[in-house]
Structure 1
Amino acid sequence: MSDQPAPRAMIVLVTAASAVVTLFGLREVSSIAGPVILALVLVIAVSPVRSWLSGRGVPAWIQVAVPFLIVVLVLLGMVAVLTVSVMQLATILPTYATQFQELLAEAQRFAARQGFGEEQLASALRAFDPGKVLGFVQTLLTGLLSVLSSLFLMVVLLLAMSLDAPITSKILASGSERSPALVTALTTFAGRTRRYLVVSTVFGLICSTLDVVALALLGVPLPLLWGVLALITTYIPNIGFVLGLVPPALLALLDGGVQQMILVIVAYCVINVVFQSFILPKYLGDAVGLSTTMTLLSLIVWTFVLGPLGALLAIPLSLLTRAVLIDSDPAARWAAALISGDATPAPVPEPASSTAGTGRAGAGPPGGESVGPGA
């Protein structure tokens, strides 16, 4: 009787409760967990640089310093561009007060022709108070200062992880015989995350550059700011394109009217939809390993847990969760197929008595990926 398995309902409830406790716990320490996870993802992204330097016999301190400096310089560059651009935005927005009032008056006349009452119009006008726009800019500045305050923590974490990367790689490699499935899962996570970041960054740079050129040709103010925003929102699944489009479209509406706003929307749609809907999926292939539904759920859950940083890290976080909870367990391969949306039947795991066979099934890293984030 003691060997009788627990009821399935109890297992489901305990698992759900554990997930809720874990997520809310991460949410409470999001100011620490967010930078830690971002630092881990960045170290994984630049780990091929260390491997390339190691293969050429470069001294160990250079293998650590070069990837570290690459990440730090990129972060500092993006923060500098965002800081200057957001301050410029806060400066020029008040100059559009007259255009804003004219647009509201035109919208009021249009709504009146459509039969809306005075009370409804007054409520709509209060909702579009220009002060709220300035408040939004202040929120952006506050968020930017928050990023700056955590930048020191991120740099320290990046340095620590860069120093530990070679040791971590050796530890994972030595554990491939004892826990082959877990090591293989972590290896696959690192490879998928790296490919996702590299491909998304390349296409994000192409799209953002074309967006900047289009905005400059259309005369929209601060095209560099909106280009950086478009690059950042590339990493936000499903809704990133919309988040990157709305601010420049609204500014184009204030600066040049409805026609300029429509031209901005058309330009963004042509550039981003072509790349992100047709070209990007071809190069990413099965690197993400998440279905459309799971990608959307990942965005919702991790944004709730870690805030805006969770939206940027939704895919890597979901890949890490999949690696630890599903891919590391050969008996859970059916769940991996369900999450990835792959209709191919998952292979049946070997009996528990065949220990060696099970180990071989998970031992070889797929695609020849290197082991660990420091690979």
Structure 2
Amino acid sequence: MKFVDHVVITVRSGDGGRGLVSFRREKFVPKGGPAGGNGGAGGSVYIEADPHLYTLMDLRYNTLHEAGDGDPGGSHNKTGKDGEDVVLRVPPGTVIRNNTTDAIIGEVVEPGDRLCIAEGGRGGKGNTFFKSSTNQTPRHAQPGEDGEEKEIALELKLLADVGLVGFPNAGKSTLVSSISAAKPEVANYPFTTLTPSLGMVYVNEYTSFVMADLPGIIEDAHEGRGLGLQFLRHIERTAVLLFVIPITATDLGATYDQLLHELREYDAAQLDKPRFVALSKIDLLPPEERSLLPDVVAEHFPPDVELLPISAVAQIGLGPLKRRLFNAVDTEKRRTAAEVTSS
């Protein structure tokens, strides 16, 4: 299934039903009082997080969603039937924006989260509502309120534990396909990854984490160049960052600094996350040089950066990489849970 992470739809809530002007017409009751019922409320449009969905594909070609109108009030003080609600199901991690103003309406993060994005119009009051000591026979009723119509943008931000950061052709897709069941496109040319891909990485029988293979970024990605904003939007949801830098890079340190710069310019808070550097494609080195690689290139990186030499093709260093990432993810989740509990 094609991954779709951004769609624009139009939603319309239902109009409220009109109130009724009616009077009692019963035998032996020559002056029956008002008996007009209220109109029903219009249906509303909701967004709900469904854990079984992973893409916005269902909404890509079905872009108009209308809730039902409320029925008019009836005689004998009968209230009209409410209009049918519309519930649009989306993957957890979906952000909802007003496409006209770009204002964020809200987001649904946890499974079952529900957000009303267009509220149905209220039903009008029937003439019974207006009866008073000074107006025994009111001859007017309210019309129902109009519903709302909005153009809504839905943006899916992936919920992953580890996000891969790197320039095109750094080996990210090969890494994900080597340590998980995900099958992103792999080729020997840049920008083979055009849409995000999630892979479940199993460390052992009982421990695992989710890794996100995201489109590669280029210089000035934070300004929207290339697929930059698509990539940066997804990286917000990850707990740990893994920078993938091939040993064939002309300048390892400059490559790392440029990746940091793009993250910083987009959202400096992303640099507070635990991060590691995977030195990829070490199968291109002679075996005697591979174990020495972290010490040899350490001068190109800050001292607090942990370097993990790997080769996804030759299956070198993948076990230690998975264990190290899992420990970082587990630590980060425990820290976040402790902060939530203490607050």
Shorter-chain TM-score: which interval? Answer: under 0.3
Q: Which has the higher contact order (CA 8 A, sep 6+)?
A: 1
Q: Please, what TM-score do these two structures have when normalized by structure 2? A: 0.22
TM-score normalised by the chain length of structure 1? 0.21
Structure showing greater Rg: 2
| Structure with the higher fraction of residues in strand conformation | 2
